[in-house]
């Protein structure tokens, strides 16, 4: 059995000291939003509690689906790199960037440079760049494929992009790993599901993504961005149903509009064509409370697993 942990939308705080010249373009609206809303809704203590519980569960691998920072400031990106080192080694943690990691022009490049070891495919020695995605990591029976939907956008926009180049490269990886009989996990920040978020936060290229999966298959799709614990299903080859799983923001405080923080723990067993996957969500039920099991369900049963 392989245990895969998944969490997202850390939004590490508090914000570092911000210089006036840093508050250009979109950052001024983000800075105001932080102090009016996000600062209140986030609880950095819960991130530590979740991380400790996650590591105690001894997962074989950890997937982090973006938004480590808030405004894409250099100091934030550096702080997130230090935080990642405390979470685990690059071999054991896989990261994909979110829209906040690409908040303004240049932020995504700096995020890729700082967090590169956590976003590097097996056998790749080149530095990670914004156009380096997808990447592939094989861990036991798992093929972890990291995608990027991150791109700097205009103020009041938080949309993502999945373009043709990345779709073609990902399709090749899906075919190669299918031939090896691996359990194929796609990691992306924005949900690749129509209607799953508001128009200004949507993923451009959802139809392209879904066509890729319909033709080439996958076994599990992980995302963040919505701050919601959701499960959708996407159609793969032969009509197979592939779970698309979201998660609450890892820094979300109790008493906010969105569900409080938790993480997902997947227990994956079986073989190609006969996978058995259990999803457990773990978080606290009261402010400052211990991390406990919130729910457990089977999301792939033998005979129903995605094929391709």
Mean of pLDDT values over 41-65:
88
How far apart CA 226 and CA 249 sit, in angstroms, is: 8
Q: What is the mean pLDDT of residues 32-38?
A: 47
More confident residue, 42 or 11: 11
Query: Is the preceding omega at residue 14 within 30 degrees of 0, hence cis?
Result: yes
The model scores a pTM over 0.95: no
Return the closest-CA partner of residue 64 out of 76, 81, 49.
81
Q: Check pLDDT > 60 for residue 254.
A: yes
pLDDT of residue 28: 46
Region 256-282: mean pLDDT is: 94
pLDDT digits (tens, 9 = 90+) for 138-177: 999 999 999 999 987 766 667 999 999 999 999 999 999 9
Q: Where are the domains of the chain?
A: 2-274
Pairwise pLDDT comparison (36 vs 86), residue with the higher score: 86
* 29 pLDDT higher than 60: no
Mean pLDDT in the chain? 89
User: Rg (Cα) of the chain, in Å, rounded?
Assistant: 18
Distances (CA, A) of 258 to 101, 249, 252, 253: 21, 8, 7, 9
* pLDDT > 70 fraction of the chain, expressed in percent and rounded: 86
pLDDT per residue over 178-213, tens digit each? 999 999 999 999 999 999 998 989 999 999 999 999
- pLDDT exceeds cutoff 70 at 37: no
Our CA dihedral for 45, 46, 47, 49, rounded to 10 degrees, sits at 100
Tell me, which fold does domain 2-274 have in CATH?
Purple Acid Phosphatase; chain A, domain 2 (3.60.21)
Question: Which tokens sit at 56?
Answer: 């105690």
In angstroms, rounded to a whole number, what is the distance separating the alpha carbons of residues 43 and 126?
36
Lowest mean pLDDT among 86-100, 111-125, 290-304: 290-304
pLDDT band (50, 70, 90) for residue 256: confident
């Amino acid at each position: 059995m392989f245990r895969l942990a998944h969490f997202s939308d850390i939004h590490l705080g508090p914000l570092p000291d911000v210089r006036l010249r840093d508050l250009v373009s979109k950052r001024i609206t983000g800075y105001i939003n932080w102090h009016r809303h996000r600062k209140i809704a986030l609880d950095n203590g819960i991130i530590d509690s979740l991380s400790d519980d996650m590591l105690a569960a001894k997962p074989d691998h950890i997937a982090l689906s973006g938004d480590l920072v808030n405004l894409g400031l250099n100091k934030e990106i550096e702080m997130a790199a230090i935080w990642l080192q405390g979470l685990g080694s690059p071999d054991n943690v896989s990261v994909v960037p979110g829209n906040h990691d690409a908040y303004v022009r240049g932020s995504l490049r700096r995020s890729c440079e700082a967090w590169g070891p956590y976003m590097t495919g097996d056998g790749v020695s080149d530095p990670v760049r914004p156009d380096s995605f997808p990447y592939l990591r094989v861990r036991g029976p798992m093929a972890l494929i990291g995608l990027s939907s991150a791109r700097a956008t205009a103020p009041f926009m938080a949309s993502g992009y999945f373009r043709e180049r990345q779709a073609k490269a990902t399709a090749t990886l899906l075919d190669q790993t299918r031939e090896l009989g691996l359990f194929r996990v796609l990691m992306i920040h924005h949900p690749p599901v129509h209607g799953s978020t508001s128009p200004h936060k949507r993923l451009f290229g959802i139809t392209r993504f879904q066509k890729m999966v319909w033709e080439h298959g996958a076994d599990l799709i992980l995302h963040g961005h919505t701050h919601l614990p959701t499960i959708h299903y996407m159609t793969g080859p032969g009509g197979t149903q592939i779970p698309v799983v979201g998660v609450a923001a890892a820094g979300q405080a109790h008493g906010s509009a969105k569900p409080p923080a938790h993480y997902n723990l997947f227990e994956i067993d079986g073989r190609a064509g006969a996978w058995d996957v259990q999803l457990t969500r773990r978080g606290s039920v009261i402010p400052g409370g211990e991390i406990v099991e919130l729910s457990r369900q089977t999301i792939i049963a033998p005979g129903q697993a995605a094929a391709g």
